[in-house]
Structure 1
Amino acid sequence: MTSKENTEAVRRYHERQATRMDQRTSELERAIIRYRARRSARIALKKLESLKNTDGKPLDTEFSSDKIQLPLKSDGGPGSGNFNHNGVPGQVGGSAPAASARGENVPCVGFEHKRTLAWKRKKHGGMYSSMTDSEYEAHAITFLKQKCGGAIDGYLDKDGAICRFDTKTGEFAKGFPGGYVKTCFNPGYSEKNRTFSLERAQRYFDKHKAEEATGDGES
């Protein structure tokens, strides 16, 4: 066998080896994909089996088009009673009470979640350190309910939330009448430096009012 023939034989050998290796790699990849698919299916099935309906019966895992229902949502989107009209944020069904930019409003129901309440009070704890979570929440509801006049200023923002600001203490709060409280704190108080500036609080309110307010009159 000539040198040229030897070279050609070696080339063909390596090509066959490379082809076999590619085939084995493809088979291994397909096997891995099948394994992952089966594993994901087993995990999903276990989760479904662990779920219970409210009556304690196992969840029906056989689905058909006549069984599918949109879950109720609380954000005013599809599936909630608030779809295509102003609903109460955090509430399912019904329309939002008319919000007044400067008048007295229906009380908020509280913060959206207990963890939100706890986090807010902890974040602004310097001004509310003597209050419990429940007292802080009740304070925010009362503060937001009041009408403007005297030291109290306020506005209605573009999302339908009312805002109240105390020009003497610097306290600021925002929430939805009949819905949840978004925040209640004093922007003039620095948690970092433990200092207070009424001027800083006033600047905060003026800035947000200019950016967010839909109107300044009674509505």
Structure 2
Amino acid sequence: MELYFSPLACSLATRIALYEAGTGARFIEVDMKSKRLRDGADFYPINPLGQVPVLRTDDGWLLRENTAILPYVADAFPAARLAPKAGTPERAKLQEWLGFISTELHKAVFVPLLDPLAPDEVRSYTREKVALRLNLLERHLHEREFLLDRFTVADAYLVTVLNWARYSGVELAQWPAVQAYYERIARRPAVQKALAEELALYREEQQRRKAETA
């Protein structure tokens, strides 16, 4: 497998899932500003939207959405039990959480808050949405260790998205169960490894950009 990623972007969830499965992939870094790979190649032929993640499977076909990539990885490594069996109510619940994280948190909340070009009115409007969504998570995670009954790819996605709170002005301390969940999941060895690797790459990326503009 090949994973096209950008440091600390939502593609981090797939890296976490791979590490939880005890495997890896060929990781190909994408500069989201230039939309180019580290070797200078154009990323748009890989994804016409210029977004990560993109997973190239061992069969050579491409997946371009977290809600498709994460279940695919889980099914590719069934021994890791990163997703319930297909066709079960539990699998439907997993898909429900992946949809919630993707649409209600990732796209509706954090993308506008992290976009430096977003107008102040957009940011204000977005902040009005935060409480309703995190209140739902707070209720669900109260006295729960994971989103489902064990760690799944949905947790890999959620910890990735919650990691953006510190960069977007969202204070997780207002939601104690959510904050405790984030801190607990972030201590998992696979998550720690993935976060450390991508944080180092993120810092390298920032240094390159500074050098380019100096």
TM-score range, shorter chain: under 0.3
TM-score normalised by the chain length of structure 1: 0.27
Larger relative contact order (CA 8 Å, sep ≥ 6): 2
TM-score normalised by the chain length of structure 2: 0.28
